[in-house]
Amino acid sequence: MRLSAPVYSLKRQARLLSRKENIPLHQALDRVAAIEGFADWGLLLARAGATTPAGRLFALLTPGDLVLVGARPGHGKTLLSLELAVEAMKSGCRGVFFTLEYTQIDVLERFRAIGVEPAHFDGLFEFDNSDAISANYIVRTLEAAPRGTLVVIDYLQLLDQKRENPDLMTQVRTLKSFARDRGLIFVFISQIDRSYDPAKKPCPDISDVRLPNPLDLSLFNKTCFLNQGELRFQAASSVRNKPFAANIHT
């Protein structure tokens, strides 16, 4: 059965339906799936195949990476980051989600939006929305995390919102060193500056990251930006010390 539109477009339809009819996102996704001829959203995703953008992106990540995922609100950066955590768990690694924005119910609903039940992964997923989240807190929490654990931080610009926390540059450097030493993958969700104009540039890039406080963005060795269903990935080559880019369309 051929889908009437790409999965990203169907997700957008479901988000609009959710807002229009004031129903949970997972219900809207199931209704869109029904229109496509599937019993639920999970079955639709299974039909879409295993070669998802998240799956292809995860294959490009290695322990020690610091990954920046940026997009404007509503363009899928949180869902993509959770999908990366799912890919890690599929490979037998842990997925950890630190957030200063969402409740556990919010995250569970987003898991359902991508057709996933965290309970199926036998305790591999961990959710943390402590008010104390900062680099030092994350390091303490992950002291015993096994190599290959994928850690999502939601989101970058909130790490130093409390005055008692170190500045953002110091925190990212701390996490970069920790990721390298312990073989973890850190995925930072990032805001995009309001000055970004999609009419002039189809997808944001590193120059569009919102930086209320100073931060050396070269600390991130891989970046991923999304807009209107397009995903652009870039990694810094450690061999040639030159960037290479790949476009992955969702």
Mean pLDDT value across the chain: 89
- pLDDT above 90 coverage of the chain, percent: 66
Helices (H), the chain: 7-21, 25-35, 41-48, 53-58, 77-90, 104-113, 135-141, 168-182
pLDDT of residue 162: 92
Mind listing the pLDDT tens digit for each residue in 116-173?
888 888 889 999 999 999 999 999 999 999 999 999 999 999 999 999 999 999 999 9
Lowest mean pLDDT among 41-45, 74-78, 187-191, 198-202: 41-45
User: Is residue 175 left, alpha or beta, with left meaning phi > 0 and alpha meaning psi from -120 to 50?
Assistant: alpha
pLDDT of residue 11: 76
Mind listing the pLDDT tens digit for each residue in 203-232?
999 999 999 999 999 999 999 999 988 899
pLDDT above 90: residue 196: yes
Q: Which helix (H) or strand (E) holds 187?
A: strand 185-190
Joined together, the tokens standing for residue 92 give 């037998």
